[in-house]
Structure 1
């Protein structure tokens, strides 16, 4: 799969918006401040994004880009289900425990009561496409008779939920020390072993 060339202006805007959202929150960040942070003119900013909510959606989608690319590569190029899921889990764990990702998650939770559309944007830009891609992979495995997966939607949800669990909640609520590379590897190994026995080999 050939990647589209990166538009430097668009990337600068997304980077600037990320900095401003994390530093000042959604409600206290204006399009003018984002333009200054990028830095680009307001005209350039609006040529790329017509609203602050569209910018937030782009920020969230970018966080999930590597995970989606990993999923696409793994599920197409290999017949080894355990290896595929390990690659996906590694990319997912790196994403969900990254400091910026945790900060964005906290931002969405804090701002959603006053801006309900943020929760919808967050889900549609991040978790929804990730879940949909894993669901599609599980459906293909089941259709090909390689695994018995009666409920791909549930199977995908459980997979990502196991990678988060109590540790992710503690990182969000208490800003606990994020897991080390060794701890993340151990988590992934345990989840894959348990998952393969419970969901794939059932």
Structure 2
């Protein structure tokens, strides 16, 4: 992943256009099935222009994933007041995590990374570092601050952050990932999120 993640990305006036076309093709055809010709056609650029921005298809895939995860992180950051009581913060965080996990984008990217894990394990690592790892780091930071204020009792902050993420997946994630259930009602999501918050605070609340 390091070579992909650190590869220089040229940004110009057609960068967003290329990224948009690549996202559409990757989501439709997967990583292996997505051809550079199709991506260039959907993006409305020449192959030469595409290669000028992204010389490797894996770099392009990583940038599609990274840009979406970054957008989600910015959106979550604008909605979360980390100075609020833990129940409020945890609830808001969960309402960012769960809908994203169940989105068509996250589900398809997960399947692509899983399908390509033997040949291109760096794709999965790129997704993990761009999404789950960043989310865990931010959650760990919040938990440390809340504990310092005396709002939570936590010894292992990394583990607690992972546990909360897993609690938010209960009932819905495996059903969604395997296509058993792709639509969830507001009541189902509320049940999962309230349960995650209650369980977490029962363990770590003061």
Same topology, TM > 0.5: yes
Summarize deviations over 1:74-113 as a string: whole Å, max 9, x none: 5556322211111111011110011222121111111111
Compute the displacement of 1:152 (Å).
Answer: 1.1
Judge conservation of contact 1:14–1:59 (CA < 8 Å) in 2: yes
Number of residue pairs aligned between Structure 1 and Structure 2: 196
Answering whether residue 47 of structure 2 is matched by residue 42 of structure 1, we say yes
**Structure 2: how far apart are the matches of 1:192 and 1:124?**
25
In structure 2, which of residues 13, 17, 36 is the aligned counterpart of residue 12 of structure 1?
Answer: 17
TM-score of the superposed pair, with normalisation by structure 2 = 0.83
Alignment root-mean-square deviation, CA: 2.3
Q: Runs of 5+ in structure 1 lacking a partner?
A: 1-6
1:3-62 Cα deviation digits (max 9, x unpaired): xxxx87333322211221122221222333212111223343334333211221222223
Match of 1:135 in 2: 140
**How many Å separate the matches in 1 of 2:154 and 2:14?**
44
Which 5+ residue runs of structure 2 have no aligned equivalent? 1-11
Task: Indicate if the aligned counterparts of 1:75 and 1:137 stay in contact, CA closer than 8 A.
Answer: no
Moved more, 174-183 or 94-103: 174-183
The DSSP-based 3-state class of the residue aligned with 2:169 is helix
Deviation, 1:115, is 1.5
Which one is further off, 120-129 or 41-50? 41-50
Q: 1:163 & 1:125 partners in 2: Cα distance?
A: 19
What is the correspondence of 1:146-161 to structure 2 with a 5 Å cutoff?
Answer: 146-161=151-166
Within the alignment, does 1:196 sit opposite 2:201 as a pair? yes
- The runs of at least 4 aligned residues of structure 1 exceeding 6 Å deviation read none
Q: Which moved more, 1:56-65 or 1:160-169?
A: 56-65
CA–CA distance in 1 between the matches of 2:61 and 2:96? 22
> Kindly tell me: are residues 113 and 166 of structure 1, through their superposed partners in 2, closer, same or farther at Cα, counting changes over 3 Å?
farther
1:173 to 156, 162, 178: 178
Given that residues 63 and 95 in structure 1 are in contact (C-alpha distance below 8 angstroms), is that contact kept between their aligned partners in structure 2?
A: no
- Following the alignment from structure 1 to structure 2, what is the Cα–Cα distance between the partners of residues 8 and 94? 32
Q: Which is worse superposed, 89-98 or 178-187?
A: 178-187
**2:6: which partner in 1?**
none
2:94 aligns with 89
Match of residue 66, structure 2, among 61, 73, 79: 61
Q: What TM-score, normalized by structure 1, do the two folds share?
A: 0.84
Query: Distance between the aligned counterparts of 2:188 and 2:53, measured in 1?
Result: 40
